[in-house]
Structure 1
Amino acid sequence: MRKLFSATVLMLLTLAVQAQQVIIPAPPSLAASAYLLMDADTGTILVEHEADMVLPPASLTKMMTSYIVSEEIEQGRISEDDMVNISVKAWRKGGSKMFVREGTQVRLEDLKRGVIIQSGNDASIALAEHVAGSEEGFVDIMNQTAAKLGMTNTHFENSTGWPAEGHLTTARDMAILARAVIKDHPDHYAMYSEKYFSYNGINQANRNRLLFRDETVDGLKTGHTEEAGYCLVASAVRRDMRLISVVMGTRSEDARAAETEKLLAYGFRYYQTQSIYDAGDELQRNRVWYGKQEEVVLGVAEDIRLTIPRGAEDALEAQMHIDETIKAPIAAGDELGNLTIDLNGERLVDVPLVALEPVEEAGFFQRLIDAIKLFFLKIFG
């Protein structure tokens, strides 16, 4: 049995019975094969269309290439100062290039910029060979990493996005990857916002046009092949909210930028990321029986942040469901109930309430006294 406690102690979460539901217009319809808009902080999907349709990713692939390189750097297996050998295979690869020369050595950090900013196929292959010994070995790492991240509809055949049978992904999986790039390696992510990179006397601009027209946009990656069309994964931050947009299969560079702008404008206009509680915040104190202390402090083990319609914070309803009889000993982290948060009848959160501090068992006489008190409490209420 659990006793229901009203969550009036939870700030910003009281619901008036007659509270009006916030009205949000339908999302824009884009001229693209597939698209998706995600809150980068919470992972909430705000807009999606054909988000699980398998499509060729073109150079969006290079987000995975750079993600793995960042992972290897942080694991200490490679360094940004490594001098990377440029093979004939890397030098000969067609398409977009950083213009490295076969038989030379290039600093790894420069190659990473060549992948992210210049979308260099030559730089991608050189990094793949440096990490795994061969591009084929690197592709195996790519697919294992995709599985680990939960990219369930993605399969890579190369490190560049060069057209190949079976080299496919989805808008949803690209959003998952972009979120990992941003959250797992924030220091490395800054490179995605750089507008230009010059190497070997050749200065090239980042193909992400939104970097030049919207100061809130700080990444991520473009892609284009005849089969894939024009694709763009972008991210922007406004008013403490970060959104990730994925647009795949548009007709031109201008179109992929314009359609992305529509998605981002919609998300920022009508939604907000609301910080509710931090892990370790005291939410409630409750009676403990048979303990050295009479109360246990309750809270949540992880931060609670929600993506909600703008202006809907007053329509949130929270309740704490706490075990009716709590007995010592209690260890920190023990689950003693649960916290739920609803919005207009929809359950948004259902997480355990945990003990934030341990409570040791009391001595014999205190336990005896508590046993007598509990006995009469059960009889007389």
Structure 2
Amino acid sequence: MRTFTVSLLLAPVLWFAAVSAHAVTPTPQLPIPPAPSLPNVASYVVLDYQTGQVVASKDPDLRRAPASLTKLMTAYLTYQAIAGGSLRLDESVPVTQTAWKTGGSRMFLQPQLPVTVDQLLHGLLIDSGNDAAVALAENVGGSQSAFVTLMNDAAARLQLHSTHYSNVDGLPDDNLYTTAADVSRLSRDLIQQYPQVLQITKLQSYTYNKITQRSWNPVLFRDPSVDGLKTGLTDASGHCIDATALRNGRRLIAVEMGAPSWSSGTDAIEALLNYGYRFYQNRELYPAGKQVGMASHTDWSPMQVPVKVAQAVVVTIPRNREGDIQTRVLWDPKVQPPFAQGAVLGQLELSIDGKVLRNVPVIATERVRKASWLDRLWHRVRAAI
């Protein structure tokens, strides 16, 4: 692991120097090939789950009809309700006439047939049941319209800025749209907060009401490393696949939107996953609590303060490019003494070839008070020497 030396003048009397380590001479490597072009796919994103970094993309912010990818948010809010205690997995849910008569793909609910929240989640994510989506929405939100409001509130909170929901199941509507980038971010949040969702989405079939239905996710049947997440199909959306895979302990999320068939969509997902795993890797640059430098200011007492990263710093980079990572500190000029131990003093920016990989907060390792006039005078004398 290499720590990179940087010295950045932040103000006439404020500076930061990174901790130095042995230099690493990069070994010449063949260039990373470009990401798959996939001309038959409207847009795509490959996202590293651990770091949240985008490995490859094509028109990631292109707004598209999501079709049943909408149900990812329906599942997210259902799990949120379970975590909050307002819903239980084993709770029996009444099936209304509205849910029963909902068209499109179904898990075949019936008003007089018992169904639990857990069964509805299976029917939602494996069978892509529109009837399951309506039943969950009515029970979590009180009504479909109220649930749609919750969906859009959650989208804003999760910073899905190019997503808008108008229904709970993904049936065609001009006011229903999302992007490959937003789907990948929602998928990451869903798995991070509710990893139990993968215990459902990895299943290749589900039986309810004596009817067994095969999962709509075609990648499950080709790639044993894939364990989720969802698909969608309408005339407007084309064939959409949101897949996640775990290989050698590393998880990737690949989203393609607008493929002409399930076969071509599966080919696209496999090409994207293989590209991300073959040509990119995760590297820990600093462990949690690692001192990464010294910050100094003549108005501080003490004048010099070690700074560290609170969390382990892991980046997704092209293979064998660790030696090319550049670092610099972006100081926060709003920070004024006194401040406590653990105060965020700025951001450690990590980049390769001018492309920012991550910005990581750096924090003070000790409490700092405002220097007295005598301290400041002495500090300025020392700084001038």
Answer yes or no: same fold by TM over 0.5.
yes
User: What one-letter code is carried by the residue in structure 1 that aligns with 2:36?
Assistant: P
User: What one-letter code is carried by the residue in structure 1 that aligns with 2:73?
Assistant: M
CA 1:4–1:152: 2 relative to 1, 3 Å = closer
2:215 is matched with which residue?
Answer: 206
Equivalent of residue 5 in structure 1, options 4, 7, 17: 17
Equivalent of residue 314 in structure 2, options 301, 305, 320: 305
* Matching of residues 100-119 of structure 1 within 5 Å: 100-119=109-128
* Matching of residues 217-228 of structure 1 within 5 Å: 217-228=226-237
Corresponding position: 1:377 with 2:382:
yes
CA 1:287–1:158: 2 relative to 1, 3 Å = closer
- What secondary structure, in the 3-state scheme, does the structure 2 residue paired with 1:85 have? coil
Q: 1:237 and 1:35 mapped to 2: Cα distance? A: 19
Mapped contact 2:53–2:357 kept (Cα < 8 A):
no
Corresponding position: 1:24 with 2:32:
yes
Kindly provide the CA deviation profile for residues 88-128 of structure 1, in whole angstroms up to 9, marking residues without a partner as x.
Answer: 11111222111111233311111111101111111111111
Following TM superposition, by how much is the alpha carbon of 1:320 offset from its aligned partner in structure 2, in angstroms?
6.3
- What secondary structure, in the 3-state scheme, does the structure 2 residue paired with 1:106 have? coil
Equivalent of residue 93 in structure 1, options 96, 102, 106: 102
Mapped contact 2:44–2:255 kept (Cα < 8 A):
yes
Equivalent of residue 124 in structure 1, options 133, 137, 140: 133
Corresponding position: 1:48 with 2:57:
yes
- What secondary structure, in the 3-state scheme, does the structure 2 residue paired with 1:123 have? helix
Equivalent of residue 183 in structure 1, options 192, 196, 208: 192
2:147 is matched with which residue?
Answer: 138
Kindly provide the CA deviation profile for residues 13-66 of structure 1, in whole angstroms up to 9, marking residues without a partner as x.
Answer: x454x7647611111121212222112222222222222222211111111111
* Matching of residues 1-381 of structure 1 within 5 Å: 1=12, 2-3=14-15, 5=17, 7-9=19-21, 14-16=23-25, 20=28, 23-30=31-38, 31-284=40-293, 296-318=305-327, 331-335=340-344, 339-358=348-367, 374=379, 377-378=382-383, 381=385
Mapped contact 2:180–2:255 kept (Cα < 8 A):
yes
CA 1:212–1:20: 2 relative to 1, 3 Å = same
Which runs of 5 or more structure 1 residues have no equivalent in the other structure? none
- What secondary structure, in the 3-state scheme, does the structure 1 residue paired with 2:64 have? coil
Mapped contact 1:21–1:315 kept (Cα < 8 A):
no
Mapped contact 1:7–1:319 kept (Cα < 8 A):
no
Kindly provide the CA deviation profile for residues 280-322 of structure 1, in whole angstroms up to 9, marking residues without a partner as x.
Answer: 2333578999999998542023442211101111222345689
Q: 2:44 and 2:337 mapped to 1: Cα distance? A: 52
- What secondary structure, in the 3-state scheme, does the structure 1 residue paired with 2:207 have? strand
Taking structure 2 as the reference length, the TM-score comes to 0.84
- What secondary structure, in the 3-state scheme, does the structure 1 residue paired with 2:291 have? coil
Following TM superposition, by how much is the alpha carbon of 1:139 offset from its aligned partner in structure 2, in angstroms?
1.4
Kindly provide the CA deviation profile for residues 219-277 of structure 1, in whole angstroms up to 9, marking residues without a partner as x.
Answer: 10011122222110001122333211111111222121111111111111111122222
- What secondary structure, in the 3-state scheme, does the structure 2 residue paired with 1:204 have? strand
Mapped contact 1:40–1:179 kept (Cα < 8 A):
yes
Worse overlay, 351-360 or 191-200: 351-360
Q: 1:33 and 1:328 mapped to 2: Cα distance? A: 52
Mapped contact 2:303–2:379 kept (Cα < 8 A):
no
- What secondary structure, in the 3-state scheme, does the structure 2 residue paired with 1:298 have? strand
Q: 1:355 and 1:227 mapped to 2: Cα distance? A: 52
Mapped contact 2:309–2:362 kept (Cα < 8 A):
yes
Mapped contact 1:3–1:321 kept (Cα < 8 A):
no
- What secondary structure, in the 3-state scheme, does the structure 2 residue paired with 1:224 have? strand
Q: Percent identity?
A: 36
Kindly provide the CA deviation profile for residues 205-225 of structure 1, in whole angstroms up to 9, marking residues without a partner as x.
Answer: 212122222121111001112
Q: 1:255 and 1:274 mapped to 2: Cα distance? A: 32
Following TM superposition, by how much is the alpha carbon of 1:336 offset from its aligned partner in structure 2, in angstroms?
5.0
Q: 2:238 and 2:301 mapped to 1: Cα distance? A: 68
Residues paired across the two proteins, number: 370
Q: 1:19 and 1:221 mapped to 2: Cα distance? A: 41
User: What one-letter code is carried by the residue in structure 2 that aligns with 1:113?
Assistant: H
User: What one-letter code is carried by the residue in structure 2 that aligns with 1:344?
Assistant: D
Taking structure 1 as the reference length, the TM-score comes to 0.85
Kindly provide the CA deviation profile for residues 330-361 of structure 1, in whole angstroms up to 9, marking residues without a partner as x.
Answer: 52123456534342344434544322344689
CA 1:147–1:5: 2 relative to 1, 3 Å = closer
Which runs of 5 or more structure 2 residues have no equivalent in the other structure? 1-11
Q: 2:27 and 2:331 mapped to 1: Cα distance? A: 27
User: What one-letter code is carried by the residue in structure 1 that aligns with 2:20?
Assistant: T
CA 1:181–1:198: 2 relative to 1, 3 Å = same
User: Which one has a bigger Cα radius of gyration?
Assistant: 1
Q: 1:158 and 1:290 mapped to 2: Cα distance? A: 56
